[in-house]
């Protein structure tokens, strides 16, 4: 399938390659990844769900093709792995017999913090189930690779943990009143509190299992995604009422992460302020080398409000688009977020990824 001209494709490779320095030794022993379809690298491939991305045009610009990533190329987690000098964290469900010591990916598309989120599409791994699998990794699979519990603890303490979760608790739960009664039981503020309180318990579990360096990404401006903007009346480019709901979650998230850092000895919780960055890129795409921040690049089901239709050619210049399908970002948009989080303490705070790896 030909989707980019030769010159455009070469430009894309050069541009994205320049974002990631090459290290002789990894900056961190491992990268562990949790969350939803923003980070899923193939866990949903084997699960009985319709929320899958293991077919073209997904992965059309990825070196391994359609792996189950919900984008055309690399995710934010992939860019961070490259910067750290680590392999891409493989999906836990399809790992080889020998557990890799460079990290694993437990993220699952369509799922969220709450156990019921996304279940209308089939089986996915909610965040608590992902932590359950990590617990199995720590207690049953990793110990055989280390000489002592202390050595394992040191390895986990130096590893970096990425989490991107919560958007589906709105998209695939709270904003679907005909399917879920959550919005009838909780006004927006109490719902945000419910999510953050539940997330805090999951973080405490990760800490008790040995995690010390945890990066949590804000929920992005979901009021700007094509799935929302094409189905709801609004003024301007985004549905700002939806963005305001999400801001309630993100505001509480900041205080929660600061509290965990101060109460859990030796922990460092980093807030990745992806919401403002994404919103600014959507409103001012040329500022980030982009052109189209309204339309999906691939041809989707339901008139641009869903996932990519299999095997149809996407737009010819994906690197100029912010949105890949009606929900997810292109590789180019992911590179913007990852690069800023790696280098900029105003986006990833109080430490960027470069600094976090040195702690």
Query: CA-CA distances (angstroms) from residue 233 to 239, 243, 247?
Result: 8, 14, 20
How many CA atoms within 13 Å lie on the side-chain side of 69?
28
293 contact partners, CB below 8 Å, separation of at least 6: 224, 237, 281, 282, 283, 285, 321, 322, 323
Which residue shows structure tokens 């992911």?
Answer: 334
Residue with tokens 């460079």: 102
* pLDDT one digit per residue (tens) for the chain, 359 residues: 443 344 344 334 434 444 444 447 999 999 999 999 999 999 999 999 999 999 999 999 999 999 999 999 999 999 999 999 999 999 999 876 789 999 999 999 999 999 999 999 999 999 999 999 999 999 999 999 999 999 999 999 999 999 999 999 999 999 999 999 999 999 999 999 999 999 999 999 999 999 999 999 999 999 999 999 999 999 999 999 999 999 999 999 999 999 999 999 999 999 999 999 999 999 999 999 999 999 999 999 999 999 999 999 999 999 999 999 999 999 999 999 999 999 999 999 999 999 999 99
Q: How far is CA 180 from CA 114, 116, 119, 225, 341, in A?
A: 12, 9, 10, 21, 34
Beta strand pairing call for 160-164 and 31-35 = parallel
Provide the annotated active-site residues: 37, 325, 328
**CA of 92: how far to CAs of 100, 125, 215, 216, 312, in Å?**
10, 11, 19, 20, 29
pLDDT at 3 (0 to 100):
39
Predicted pLDDT of residue 17: 46
At 181 the pLDDT is 97
Q: What pLDDT score does 94 carry? A: 84
Residues in CB range of 175: below 8 A, 6 or more apart: 183, 228, 242
pLDDT score for 23: 46
Report the alpha-carbon distance of residue 213 to residue 31 in Å, rounded. Answer: 10
CB 81 within 8 Å of CB 87: yes
The two structure tokens encoding residue 130: 């992902």
Taking the alpha carbons of 228, 233, 237, 241 in that order, is the dihedral positive or negative? negative
Residue 292 carries which DSSP code?
B
The pair phi, psi for residue 172, each rounded to 5°, is: -105, 25
């Amino acid at each position: 399938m030909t989707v980019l001209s030769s010159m455009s494709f070469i430009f894309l490779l050069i541009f994205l390659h320049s974002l990631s320095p090459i290290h002789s030794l990894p900056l961190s022993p491992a990268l562990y990844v949790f969350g939803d379809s923003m980070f899923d690298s193939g866990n949903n491939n084997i699960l009985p769900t319709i929320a899958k991305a293991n077919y073209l045009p997904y992965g059309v610009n990825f070196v391994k093709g359609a792996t189950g990533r919900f984008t055309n190329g690399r995710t934010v987690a992939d860019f961070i792995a490259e910067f750290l000098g680590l392999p891409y964290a493989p999906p836990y469900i399809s790992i080889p017999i020998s557990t890799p010591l460079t990290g694993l990916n437990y993220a699952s598309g369509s799922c969220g913090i709450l156990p019921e989120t996304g279940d209308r599409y089939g089986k996915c791994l909610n965040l608590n189930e992902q932590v359950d699998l990590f617990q199995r990794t720590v207690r049953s699979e990793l110990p055989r690779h280390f000489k002592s519990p202390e050595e394992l603890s040191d390895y986990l303490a130096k590893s970096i943990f990425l989490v991107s979760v919560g958007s589906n608790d709105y998209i695939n739960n709270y904003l679907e009143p005909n399917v879920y009664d959550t919005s009838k039981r909780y006004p927006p503020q109490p719902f945000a509190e419910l999510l953050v309180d539940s997330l805090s318990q999951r973080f405490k579990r990760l800490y008790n299992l040995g995690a010390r360096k945890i990066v949590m990404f804000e929920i992005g401006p979901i009021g700007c995604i094509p799935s929302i903007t094409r189905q709801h009346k609004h003024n301007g480019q985004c549905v700002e009422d939806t963005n305001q709901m999400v801001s309630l979650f993100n505001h509480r998230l900041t205080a929660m992460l600061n509290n965990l850092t101060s109460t859990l000895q030796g922990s460092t919780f980093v807030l990745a302020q992806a919401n403002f960055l994404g919103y600014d890129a959507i409103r001012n795409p040329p500022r980030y080398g982009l052109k189209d921040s309204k339309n999906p690049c691939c041809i989707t089901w339901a008139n641009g409000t869903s996932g990519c239709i299999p095997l149809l050619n996407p737009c010819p210049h994906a690197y100029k688009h912010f949105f890949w399908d009606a929900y997810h970002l292109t590789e180019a948009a992911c590179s913007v977020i990852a690069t800023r989080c790696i280098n900029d303490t105003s986006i990833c705070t109080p430490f960027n990824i470069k600094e976090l790896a040195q702690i």
